[in-house]
Amino acid sequence: MRPENRTLTLLVGVVAVMVSLSFAAVPFYRWFCQVTGYAGTTSVSAAGSEVVLDRTIKIRFDASLEAGMPWEFRPVQREMEVRIGETNLAFYEAYNPTDRVIAGTAGFNVSPDSAGGYFTKIDCFCFTQQVLQPGERVSMPVSFYVDPSIVDDPDARFLKAITLSYTFHDTALPDRQAALETDPETDEGAAAAAAN
């Protein structure tokens, strides 16, 4: 093989590896954050903890909206005192005050960052897209526990409170819902049915 062909082959190989690594970076980073709690990323579990301690910790709940998101969004309770390891249920409320269907997805984190890997969600409205009809108000649960191993972490063992924060972002409607919103025949049919 000629030297210039060898160099070209090597460069193509390097580019292919770099492109592959760039696609793998996002899922790897997400996995890394979930496992370590880096940047306040919470853990996820299919079931509650088998160990419940006599020690308690305060959980604070926070809610915000991305700029331009027209919903109203708030925690039903601002804080709760929970036993470490105990499964708990908290609720957030969302309301669509507009005259159109709006879809949203909630981003989340906990603070301080050192608590991220110990705040474990079992089920959460943030796992799926939420679609609210005009004027619809919904109560959305989050089931969670604080992992008992937090008491063994020198950086997190003396925490007195953890804040769980959600931010709702406006997202595109699911295809089926979007088709209903933009189909003039559906609108005309609905208007005719309402007139009868």
Strands 130-132 and 161-171: unpaired
Tens-digit pLDDT profile for the chain (196 aa)?
Answer: 677 777 777 777 777 777 666 555 444 434 444 444 444 456 777 788 899 999 999 999 999 999 999 999 999 999 999 999 999 999 999 999 999 999 999 999 899 988 888 999 999 999 999 999 999 999 999 999 999 999 999 988 899 999 999 999 999 987 666 555 655 454 444 444 444 4
* DSSP bridge pairs for 79: 60
Nearest to 80 by CA among 164, 137, 155, 157: 164
- Name the strand (E) or helix (H) holding 8: helix 3-36
pLDDT score of 130: 95
pLDDT score of 36: 41
Nearest to 134 by CA among 104, 96, 106, 168: 96
Q: How many other CB atoms are there within 10 angstroms of residue 182's CB atom? A: 10
Place of tokens 């949203």: 104
pLDDT score of 20: 62
Q: Give the angle subtended at the CA of 183 by the CAs of 177 and 184, to the nearest 5°.
A: 145
Q: Which residues contact 155 (CB under 8 A, 6 or more apart)?
A: 114
One CATH from 3.40.50.2000, 2.60.370.10, 2.60.40.10, 3.50.50.60 for 38-178:
2.60.370.10
| Helix, coil or strand: residue 177 | helix
* DSSP bridge pairs for 59: 80, 162
pLDDT score of 191: 46
pTM exceeds cut of 0.85: no
